[in-house]
Amino acid sequence: MKTVVFFGSPRKQGNTRKMVDACIEKVGGEILTVDCCGGRFSACTDCRWCRSHAGCSIPDGMDDVYSWVEEADAVIIASPVHMGTLSGPLLSVLSRLQTYWSSKFVRVTDKVVPRKKAGCLLLTAGSSDFDMERNCIYTASFAFRLMNASFLGCVLADNTDHVPAQDNEHAMASARRMGGSLSLWKGQEM
């Protein structure tokens, strides 16, 4: 079992990390955490290099991430909600999935990223808002489609300014269930 976690929080040991830890304790296997805030990844520059080549022209470590995505059984997007959507650094990293879009619609290659399952972990400091959740889920779902991942669902921990994620029993239990669901798909036909 191989899992890629796109970690979108600038707080390395904050609420988002607690939710990720709860989720991956049930996943097992090898885990690659892509630190979108501290990893110094650049955003897509629309240079269009990927229209004629696999991968990306920016030499910042995304080639290793692409290799993991292509071998992974599961993908997790974990982010605090900033300005009603996923964190900016996470969005920058996800923009680099443009190479998969180009592969499918421009290069039209035979290479297809293997099917995998995916889940999303979201955290808000205050109360949640339906439009905000919908925005985050729409963006995450688009990224999952580019990685050929079937979206299992989203776990939301809200009001983390007053109730830390690790004290939100419902959210933590839901994150663990998601991890268990992701691990169940290893080796199964999707």
Give CA separation, 12 vs 118, 144, 154, in Å. 22, 23, 21
Model confidence pLDDT, tens digit, residues 130-154 = 678 889 999 999 999 999 999 999 9
| % residues pLDDT > 70 (the chain) | 94
CA Rg, the chain, in Å?
16
| pTM of this structure | 0.93
Model confidence pLDDT, tens digit, residues 15-59 = 999 999 999 998 989 999 999 999 889 999 999 999 999 999 999
Residue 182 is encoded by which pair of tokens?
């992701």
Contact (CB, 8 A) for 126 and 156: no
What is the longest distance spanned by two Cα atoms in the chain? Answer: 50
Domains in the chain with CATH codes? 2-184 (3.40.50.360)
Model confidence pLDDT, tens digit, residues 75-98 = 999 999 988 899 999 999 999 999
What secondary structure letter does DSSP report for 73? Answer: S
